[in-house]
Structure 1
Amino acid sequence: MTQTQNVEEKKIWFVLRCTYSRGMKVKDYLDSNQIENFIPMHYVVSERQGKIIRKLVPVISNLIFVHCTKGKLEELKKTSTLQSLIRYIMDKEKHKPLIVPDKQMYDFIAVAGRTEEQILYLSPEEVKLREGDKVRINSGIWKGVEGVFLKVREGMRVVVSIEGFVAVATIALHPSMVDKI
């Protein structure tokens, strides 16, 4: 097998757009086929007919991260029920599908996957990553997560970013809980 074929068969994290708010349908299909994926979720509280309803919903509608080989993803896009439901989100500078390095994605999942914690989702405009120090959390539920230590709204937080796309901030952390990298 050539080196090019090895790259094609390596699992990577793709960022995909789901059409017509069918992200959960896509997630269900991928889960049933044992394909690793992630949709950032959070609770929304609303009132319906006088009752308070707390519902877990995607943070960013129509977004899913999928961990598989490019070949497998192309096969899914062509031959499955996902054919018209998913599209690549493109890296505008490279003119290629947007991909996320494994470590960055797992750090993002470690923070964004905890729906009960008081985390904040931030747009790229809200986070100026060059201004903060790169840090690694040294204790607690996010031990080992790397990000940028920034003052965001109500306190010092570690921000994990999918650069130029989305960022998530932990709950407020004491400076003793992080080590500068």
Structure 2
Amino acid sequence: MTEHKSFWFAARTKNNQVLTTRTVLEKLNIEYYLPTQFTVRILRDRRRNVEVPMIQNLIFVHATKQRACDIVNNCYVRLYYMRDFCTHQMLVVPDKQMEDFMLVMNLMPDKVCFENKQLTLGAPVQIIKGELCGIEGEVASMGNHTYVVIRMQGVLSASIRVPRSYLRLLIKSEINNIK
């Protein structure tokens, strides 16, 4: 890894501490991504709009490797970086996968379903129409529906339902960090 280049690192937090961790990262001016949504909860006989994370105990940190380590070691933030199974290094999410994931989560968060296990994946595709134009992933089918799966190796898979006519099959030379 280049010492001065920033990467996206996937990190776990203690149970129910992801929002607190987010606040600490904001105070330290660390770039992060945490998909959240507002839900109505009844607290003490009152209905309240409460912000909840869409993925429990998972946050993405954008920093250099040294800065990411300093957050944990020197600032005492309780983050547990995920590791790549092959290299045993901190897991780095490629920029293209992270951009695609953030775009899908910002545009259509209610239509995304998450999988930690591998889905039956097919050919690499690119969405060529609609709000998600440019997103690359792999095609999967469940029932009579077509989904595009965006995988973050070792972290999670996010899938979104897309009409088949919106997809274009990618050839080998066009594939950008899909696998």
TM-score with structure 1 setting the length: 0.80
- Alignment partners' CA distance in 2, 1:103 and 1:93: 21
In structure 2, relative to structure 1, the CA distance for the partners of 1:59 and 1:180 (3 Å cut) is: same
Match of 1:176 among 145, 165, 170: 165
* 1:120 aligned residue: 113
Moved more, 139-148 or 106-115: 106-115
Name the SS for the 2:111 alignment partner.
Answer: coil
Aligned AA for 2:67?
K
TM superposition shift of 1:154? 6.2
**What RMSD over aligned residues (CA atoms) do the two structures have, in Å?**
2.4
Matched, 1:68 2:67: no
TM superposition shift of 1:164? 3.5
* 1:105 aligned residue: 98
The answer to whether the 8 A contact 1:19-1:85 is kept is yes
- Alignment partners' CA distance in 1, 2:101 and 2:143: 20
In structure 2, relative to structure 1, the CA distance for the partners of 1:48 and 1:76 (3 Å cut) is: closer
Moved more, 33-42 or 58-67: 33-42
TM superposition shift of 1:28? 2.1
* 1:88 aligned residue: 81
TM superposition shift of 1:124? 1.9
Instruction: Give the 5 Å matches for 1:6-45.
Output: 7-42=2-37, 44=39
Task: Give per-residue Cα distances to partners, 1:57-78, cap 9 Å, x unaligned.
Answer: 2233221111110111122222
- Alignment partners' CA distance in 2, 1:54 and 1:118: 20
Aligned AA for 2:4?
E
The answer to whether the 8 A contact 1:157-1:169 is kept is yes
* 1:151 aligned residue: 141
The answer to whether the 8 A contact 2:10-2:91 is kept is yes
Aligned AA for 2:137?
G
The answer to whether the 8 A contact 1:16-1:86 is kept is yes
Moved more, 158-167 or 65-74: 158-167
Identify the structure with the greater helix proportion: 1
- Alignment partners' CA distance in 2, 1:161 and 1:37: 19
The answer to whether the 8 A contact 1:43-1:55 is kept is yes
Any unmatched runs of 5+ in structure 1? none
State the number of aligned residues. 170
Any unmatched runs of 5+ in structure 2? 171-179
Task: Give per-residue Cα distances to partners, 1:76-102, cap 9 Å, x unaligned.
Answer: 22222xx15112112222211111111
Paired-residue identity, %: 27
